[in-house]
Amino acid sequence: MAESTSLPVTAPQFELRRRPNRALAVLLVFRANPLGAVGAIIIISLVAIAAFAPLIAPHGINEYAGIPGQGPSAKFWFGTDKFGNDIFSRVISGSRISVQVGFFSVALGVGLGLIFGAASAYLGGWTDTIMQRIVDAAIAFPQLILLLIIVRTLGPSMRNVVLVIAIAIIPSVTRIIRGAALVQKSNLYVEAVRSLGASDARIVFRHIIPNVMPVAIVLGTTLLGSAILAEAALSFLGLGIPAPNPSWGADISTSRTSFPLNVSAALFPGIAISLTVLGFNFLGDTLRDVLDPRLRGSR
């Protein structure tokens, strides 16, 4: 006991102030939520596959690799489609489209939704009312039909698909962020910075938005899965990424018109979509439990 009294008084305080070990924290979270770890592994592999697709794929995406309509074999792991393309190569290359459309559309949609939601909550009054009624209208509207109409109007292309999926994401993000921002707005710190003379824009961008970021991150992760599903659905209907790009959705659609039917041409691109979306959903659920317990059970 005598030794402990002789220790400097500041020692325990220094101990408390030490930055938490991030890597350890992540490890602990994933140990408590093994499915989240599975999700993270799936997503990391997906990004790696997309980055190195040309090195992994044994054949070109539109290269006549073998007799059309083959099932899986040692030479063609996933078989060949009705054009004689190697399905494995197409699935590998298709990851690039999914990753790009997913990340760009979610970044754009969540980014704008974040600004609209925070502004709507902070400004209040008529601005808030009008913005929220527009959000009501957009949410009441069947989303897929909206996507189809806009793509048909703008014309199918990578850029337009990213754009319409972002547009479809904005309303629900705006609504949820507004709720979270309203809670922040009533906090004393907002009043404090305002009394210090901070402008509205500064309060929204420097104080409210950083504080609702956890909600946005959770939302964004789950929405990445939905965005990739939406791209696949649009491409399946022929209004997504135009041929001959290897979109998973479009490849499933192509498989339906092959004769004789070749199940593997539909099976493997679908497994790729499902695994990807599953990965984002697993990770999203885990992030939600960790970052924002209030969102639990929604969706």
Partner 1 sequence: MTQYIIRRLALAALILWFISVAVFLLLRVGPGDPALLQQGINATPETVAAVHKELHLDDPYYVQYLRWMKGFVTLDLGRSVLTQTDVSGEFKGRLPVTVELMMFTLFWTVILGVPFGVVSAVTRNRPPDYFVRVFAVFGLSVPAFWVATLVLMIPAQQWGYAPPLNKTTSLFTEPWLNLKQFGPPSFVLALSSMAGIMRLVRSELLEVLRADYVRTARAKGLTQRLVVMRHALRNSLIPVVTVLGLLTSGLLGGSVIIESIFNLRGLGQYIFSSILQKDYAVVQSLVMFTATVAVLMNLAVDLLYGFLDPRIRYS
Q: Which two tokens stand for residue 198?
A: 């901070």
Q: What's the CA gap between 274 and 285, in Å, rounded?
A: 16
Q: Which of 113, 281, 283, 287 binds partner 1 (CB under 8 A)?
A: 281
Tell whether residue 296 is a contact of partner 1 (CB under 8 A): yes
- Residue 142 found at the interface with partner 1 (CB under 8 A): yes
Q: Does 225 bind partner 1 (CB under 8 A)?
A: yes
The answer to whether residue 240 forms part of the interface with partner 1 (CB under 8 A) is no
Residue from 145, 188, 196, 293 that binds partner 1 (CB under 8 A)? 145
DSSP structure string for 227-243: HHHHHHHHHHTTSSSPT
* CB-based burial label for 16 (10 Å; 0-12, 13-18, 19+): exposed
Q: Which of 50, 81, 54, 51 minimizes the C-alpha distance to 65?
A: 81
Residue 139, helix vs strand vs coil: helix
- Per rule CB under 8 A, is residue 223 in the interface with partner 1? no
190 binds partner 1 per the rule CB under 8 A: no
Q: What is the spatial distance between Cα 1 and Cα 100, in angstroms, rounded to a whole number? A: 62
Nearer to partner 1, 78 or 122 (CB): 78
Of the candidate residues 30, 88, 116, 282, the single one contacting partner 1 (CB under 8 A)? 282
Q: Which residues, in sequence order, are bridge partners of residue 86?
A: 80
Nearest to 94 by CA among 61, 56, 63, 136: 61
Is the Cβ of residue 153 or residue 195 nearer to partner 1 in the bound state? 153
CA separation for the pair 226, 222 (Å, rounded): 7
Interaction of residue 206 with partner 1, rule CB under 8 A? no
* 43, 162, 208, 229: residue in contact with partner 1 (rule CB under 8 A): 229
What are phi and psi for residue 52, nearest 5 degrees? -105, 20
176 binds partner 1 (CB under 8 A): no
Residue from 112, 267, 289, 291 in contact with partner 1 (CB under 8 A) = 267
Among 204, 215, 266, 283, binds partner 1 (CB under 8 A): 266
Closest CB to partner 1 among residues 172, 211: 172
- The dihedral region occupied by 209, where left means phi > 0, alpha psi between -120 and 50, and beta the remainder, is alpha
Helices (H) and strands (E) in the chain, counts: 14, 0
Among 27, 44, 51, 261, binds partner 1 (CB under 8 A): 261
Which one of residues 143, 174, 221, 286 is an interface residue with partner 1 (CB under 8 A)?
A: 143
- Note the residues at the interface with partner 1 (CB under 8 A): 35, 133-134, 136-137, 139-145, 148-150, 152-155, 225, 229, 232-233, 236-237, 239, 249, 252, 255-256, 260-261, 263, 266-267, 269-270, 273-274, 277-278, 281-282, 285, 296-297, 299
